[in-house]
Amino acid sequence: MHLAIDSTETLFQRHSANPILTNKDWPYRINSVFNAGATLLDDGCTLLLCRVEDRRGLSHLCVARSVNGIDGWAIDPEPTLMPDPEKYPEELWGIEDPRITYVPELGKYAIAFTSFAKGGPGVSLALTKDFRSFERLGVIMSPDDKDAALLPYRIGGLWALIHRPMTPLGCHMWISYSPDLRHWGGHKVMMEARKGAWWDANKIGLCSPPIETSEGWLTLYHGVKNTASGSLYRIGLALFDLKSPDICLLRGDSWIFGPETEYERGGDVHDVVFPCGQTICPDRDTINIYYGAGDSCIALAQASLRSLLSWLQENGRPEGLDNNR
Ligand code: BMA
């Protein structure tokens, strides 16, 4: 049995400036800011597409830009992308949790986000070149579904989307394929939630978009443990085959990051760490992981790509073997 508790504690380093963005930083009145998509722009600046919850409880998206990805954030003076329920009824109760993928073939960023309305939460897709104007493609995965990200290029001629439909039997990670980003099929389970007492029992979901490495798609995912005092959101690691991303090559047994600090254990929803985006530093090894903490603020943790991969080689196991799940 692999517990590897000591090595996991040093995999993610919280930044001393945490939390790096809170409602007090916002140029207009909001309740909270959390769960941000992230990308590096051509000029090297970091862009966060933040989920902002207003004081009605509805979410929209707002851009924050920074030269070093840590501080000095320039925040759009008004919401960058507001729900538009007249044209897109699926956005009636807001838009949430964006994941950004740069798609070289299109020369555009693809944003997969949760659109929330009376039918439940579903997955919507939008494209943008500049994070100022957006082309909405509407709902691409019907409710209940969330935690989606597009892979950056076609696989076998088809676009690939990771997402997390919900069923009463469990919430597992799926992958689906499309010739045109609008029509989706070839649905396959990528990775299942475990059962029983596990930290990732019953409900898992993709965090930030998978990172392409020579060993496979390195993937952070969240697991949700239900306890008598509520849900605990923690982060685990898995590696998927580059050419067949529905094949899980390795999955760690322990979580590698969980709520510990005051801003993670408190907040509007306690005990939540929820990354939706990351950037990779010029050394091509350091990852900046941006995560929502307690559904109230945005924090930054740094990790080494090489250390995450070697932790998985030591502590991960292929899926499908008898592993007591
Ligand atoms: C999930 C999502 C996230 C949120 C988390 C904890 O289901 O809705 O946006 O951060 O719950 O509340």
Residue identifier of the C-alpha nearest atom 2 of ligand 1: 97
Q: How far is the CA of 98 from the centre of ligand 1 (A)?
A: 12
- CATH, residue 199: 2.115.10.20
Q: How far is the CA of 183 from the centre of ligand 1 (A)?
A: 27
Distance CA 8, CA 73 (A): 30
Predicted model pTM: 0.96
How many Cβ atoms from other residues are within 10 Å of residue 90's Cβ?
23
**Residue 53 in contact with ligand 1 by CB distance below 6 A:** no
Is residue 25 a part of any domain in this protein? yes
Distance CA 160, CA 143 (A): 19
**Residue 246 in contact with ligand 1 by CB distance below 6 A:** no
How many Cβ atoms from other residues are within 10 Å of residue 295's Cβ?
19
CB 237 within 8 A of CB 316: yes
Is residue 208 a part of any domain in this protein? yes
Residue identifier of the C-alpha nearest atom 7 of ligand 1: 146
Q: Report pLDDT digits (tens) over 30-74.
A: 999 999 999 999 999 999 999 999 999 999 999 999 999 999 999
**Residue 96 in contact with ligand 1 by CB distance below 6 A:** yes
The total number of structural domains in the chain stands at 1
Average pLDDT, the chain: 95
Residue type (1 letter), 89: P
Residues ≥6 apart with Cβ < 8 Å to 45: 65, 66, 67, 69
Residue identifier of the C-alpha nearest atom 4 of ligand 1: 295
Ligand 1: atom nearest CA of 96 is 9
Is residue 133 scored above 80 in pLDDT? Answer: yes
Residue type (1 letter), 68: N
Q: Report pLDDT digits (tens) over 195-220.
A: 999 999 999 999 999 999 999 999 99
Structure tokens at 50: 């933040």
Residue identifier of the C-alpha nearest atom 9 of ligand 1: 97
Ligand 1: atom nearest CA of 274 is 10
Q: How far is the CA of 258 from the centre of ligand 1 (A)?
A: 15
Is residue 261 a part of any domain in this protein? yes
- Grouping H, G, I as helix, E, B as strand and the rest as coil, residue 90 is helix
Letter string b/e over residues 247-281, b meaning 16 or more CB atoms within 10 A of that residue's CB: bbbbbbbbbbbbbeeebbbebebbbbbbbbbbbee
Is residue 6 scored above 90 in pLDDT? Answer: no
Average confidence (pLDDT) over 84-94: 98
Distance CA 213, CA 309 (A): 9
Is residue 13 a part of any domain in this protein? no
**Residue 292 in contact with ligand 1 by CB distance below 6 A:** yes
**Residue 35 in contact with ligand 1 by CB distance below 6 A:** yes
Distance CA 207, CA 80 (A): 22
Distance CA 142, CA 153 (A): 23
CB 149 within 8 A of CB 209: yes
Ligand 1: atom nearest CA of 231 is 6
Higher-confidence position of 101 and 321: 101
Is residue 215 a part of any domain in this protein? yes
Is residue 10 a part of any domain in this protein? no
**Residue 145 in contact with ligand 1 by CB distance below 6 A:** no
- Grouping H, G, I as helix, E, B as strand and the rest as coil, residue 215 is coil
Q: Which domain holds residue 311?
A: 19-315
Is residue 170 a part of any domain in this protein? yes
CB 206 within 8 A of CB 191: no
Q: How far is the CA of 138 from the centre of ligand 1 (A)?
A: 21
Distance CA 51, CA 190 (A): 26
Sign of CA dihedral 143, 250, 1, 234: negative
Q: Report pLDDT digits (tens) over 247-272.
A: 999 999 999 999 999 999 999 999 99
Query: pLDDT-derived band of residue 8, with 50, 70 and 90 as boundaries?
Result: very low
Is residue 3 a part of any domain in this protein? no
Q: Report pLDDT digits (tens) over 226-240.
A: 999 999 999 999 999
